[in-house]
Amino acid sequence: MKHTITFQPDNITVTVDQGENLLAAAANAGVYVHAFCGGDGVCGKCKVIVEEGEVRADKATLKKEEWDQGYRLACQATVMSDLVVRIPEITTAGGRALKRKPKTTRTISARSLDTLIGKWDVDPPVAKLYLELDPPTMDDNISDMQRVMRGIRQALPDTPEPSYDHPELIKELPFVLRESDWKVTVLLLHGKREGEPDRIIDIEPGNTTDRLYGLAVDIGTTTCSGVLIDLNTGKIIAEASGYNAQISYGEDVISRIIYAARPGGLRALQEKVVSTINTIIDDICRKMIISPADISYIMAAGNTIMSHLLLGLDPKYIREAPYVPAVSIFPLTKAAGLGIQAHPSVRLFLYPCIASYVGGDIVSGVHACQMAKSDKVSLFIDIGTNGEIVVGNSEWMVCAACSAGPAFEGGGIQYGMRASAGAIENFHIHHETYDPMIVTIGRIKPAGICGSGLISIVSELLEAGVIDQQGKFNKGLDHPRIREGRDGWEYVLAWGQDSLIGEDIVITEVDIDNLLRAKGAMYAGYQTLLESVGLTFDDLDRVILAGNFGAYIDLERAICIGLLPDVDRDKFFYLGNASMLGCQISLTDVKRFRERVHVRQLMTNMELSENTEFMTHYMAALFLPHTDMSLFPTVRDKLPERSV
């Protein structure tokens, strides 16, 4: 259920889900509320007055007279209805009311993605066919397999006769037929191209047509995810995820390539990712009370290195110029042969890669959003340690990867951390007091800064004039939170007594510099790709953000720091885990699945590391938001004069 909150005196209205935290709602709406304990309820600074509507809150957090007057701690209040909430004035010691300046924030619109991903039918790449066969007699003593083929021809008279290539199938066939009284279910794998004959990959006793399941798998460097789909209905019925166990051998792909070169390293890495997939299968099967043998097809996507390691292919030359993978189109593989818990007949399909650092996960995402079927020019972006970018439409596509570094995942930041409990995920600063408003994941005391929090912090400090466009602190500001620390100038986000870790949590000029390099690499990548085909940002019809990180990016702030282009906000779409989405679509609709061949053929890779224009654009992007402010007119208009 949705509810509307109106924040006064700014008269800002926002729509949220019932059960949303009031402090988080204010932060997302750009409304400043003094709060620096992250939402833990201990600082008592985030008092607001609920003038209309109902919130769920604990009376013990306030004095009785405050409670009776409608005061509530925003961080401890849960939205239960439409609300009118008044933010009390902040006054100086002399009694002067400080000005309020509503912030411009914007999440990427949750409007329908139908225009991007379209519709798909329930027509999976595998099908089950129930047969009741006549038992053999002296007058009809053809072979068991011929008998099955005859039954298929009778049931499907208008389709080519299927083939079979599964030795175990032939060994087991005579016993399965007789033990099931000649009543069996045939599992058919449809041809790679329309019109090609099906392939018999399994014959099961009895009627099992109601149990037709497919597994979509996203093999991420950090996290692997699985989605179980009922292929009879096309509905998702279970999900599971877990850390890629390869992390114990290195957090990034380069570390794992190096480890793979050690004796036994490649085998160890393969076993780890297979173990992770098996854990996901176990979790899903326990939830649904089914057997792994009930899964009839596995559709997977991962970056080039993850795909190589899953198949046990040496990724050594991916890291060395001219950066060549062992293979770009992966063979259809029997999952059990890799050690995956599955029926011996189950096939694993891996999305093809384009180049060493543009993998099947990107092909899957581009496939999902139908760039290859649209005349609109789209910019597809997957932001991460290795940022991938695709520009194009139905006639052409150019893609590239750029090493953004780990800043967006908290790496290289003094108090950086992954997006887990205690991570600062949202931040505002008062433009006169320079005091913070902090919201953490889990609404507990702050423990560090995650990627979305980092973008919010730097954007807010820039707009407030605390830092300049070079990311340097304004040393003329007399405020205890702005100080010279051990590693240079810094801003104190949370004092030690207010933090979960018992020490001051700060953001430093070194942190900001690391963010500048990360966002500069991404933006330079967009520019270089667009210029390579004679286009500019004005020529874009759509900007599509993929990846889990995109869900937490505030659009205005990402543009403010120069991570995303300053174009019409209605051109932005958020696709989510596009790699997984492509697998789900392909697993459900064989016609959409067959389109991935055309998608891959359209994509041409550009190596940015060898491109001189990229380096020029990169150096220009090492400012907030950029050295060329004509590229960011909306940001230029809202920055204080001293910052521009």
- Find the mean pLDDT for residues 355-374: 95
- The Cα–Cα gap between 628 and 201 comes to 59
What's the pLDDT at 110?
46
- Find the mean pLDDT for residues 148-163: 92
What's the pLDDT at 102?
55
pLDDT single digits (tens) 586-619: 999 999 999 999 999 999 999 998 889 999 999 9
CA dihedral 405, 407, 413, 418 (to 10 degrees): -120
- Find the mean pLDDT for residues 545-554: 81
- The Cα–Cα gap between 516 and 625 comes to 9
What's the pLDDT at 407?
86
Tell me the pTM. Answer: 0.89
pLDDT single digits (tens) 264-286: 999 999 999 999 999 999 999 99
Assigned token pair, 468 = 């300049």
Q: How far is CA 172 from the centre of its chain?
A: 43
Residues in the chain: 644
- Residue with the larger pLDDT of the pair 61 and 446: 446
Q: How many helices (H) and strands (E) in the chain?
A: 17, 29
- The Cα–Cα gap between 593 and 443 comes to 42
pLDDT single digits (tens) 11-47: 889 899 999 999 998 988 888 988 878 878 888 888 9
pLDDT for residue 78 is more than 90: yes
Say which residues have a Cβ less than 8 Å from residue 431's Cβ, sequence separation at least 6.
Answer: 99, 101, 463, 464, 465
pLDDT band at 549 (very low <50, low <70, confident <90, very high): confident
- The Cα–Cα gap between 262 and 443 comes to 44
| All domains of the chain in start order, with CATH | 1-102 (3.10.20.30), 126-205 (3.10.20.880), 214-362 (3.30.420.480)
pLDDT for residue 205 is more than 90: yes
pLDDT for residue 8 is more than 50: yes
> Is there a cis peptide before residue 625, judged by omega within 30 degrees of 0?
yes
> What backbone torsions phi and psi does residue 167 show, to the nearest 5 degrees?
-55, -40
pLDDT for residue 430 is more than 70: yes
pLDDT for residue 413 is more than 50: yes
- Find the mean pLDDT for residues 201-207: 94
pLDDT for residue 120 is more than 80: yes
DSSP state of 323: T
- The Cα–Cα gap between 230 and 587 comes to 10
- Residue with the larger pLDDT of the pair 6 and 115: 6
pLDDT band at 91 (very low <50, low <70, confident <90, very high): low
Hunting for tokens 């019925």 — which residue is that?
237
